[in-house]
Amino acid sequence: MIADYLSGFPAFLAHFVLAIGFVAIFIWIYTWITPHDEIALMRQGNVACAIAFTGSIVGFSFPLASAIEYSVSILDNTIWAAVSLLVQLGVYLIVKLVFKDLSKRIENGELPAAIWLAGVSIAGGQLAAASMTT
């Protein structure tokens, strides 16, 4: 009887491991393309960096969760997770065009720039997630 309840566990595990892997890949690429070092800045107590970085991760996680929910296979999930990753990186690049000195502002701990990046990242992620449901 318990086996019936756990029949979906292999699929859960596969999608969850894939999601964790994609979050790790996103973090690696994101920290690679940004001129500032998020991890070092957060270790120094830079709140602006923590807000911006967390917003970007949350913004990526929304469409990633939607990809898991609506995918029909691991391959489908992988494709949409990759699309989500590209969308979120694109959001960062767009915000960087508006705030030419975005990284410097974040390094300096300026909250308005960080909150703007976090907000746009989350909004972009929500829109991408909603777009996957159609």
What pLDDT digit, counting tens, does each position of 57-89 carry? 999 999 999 999 888 888 998 999 999 999 999
| Sequence ranges of the domains in the chain | 2-131
Distance of CA 90 to the CA centre of its chain: 11
Q: How far apart are CA 57 and CA 125, in angstroms?
A: 9
Q: Report DSSP letters for 10-66, one per residue.
A: HHHHHHHHHHHHHHHHHHHHHHHHSSS-HHHHHHTT-HHHHHHHHHHHHHHHHHHHH
Its pTM stands at 0.91
Q: How far apart are CA 128 and CA 27, in angstroms?
A: 18
Which tokens sit at 121?
């990242």
73: three-class secondary structure by DSSP: coil
Predicted confidence (pLDDT) per residue in 92-132, tens digit: 999 999 888 999 999 999 999 999 999 999 999 999 999 98
Q: How far apart are CA 34 and CA 38, in angstroms?
A: 8
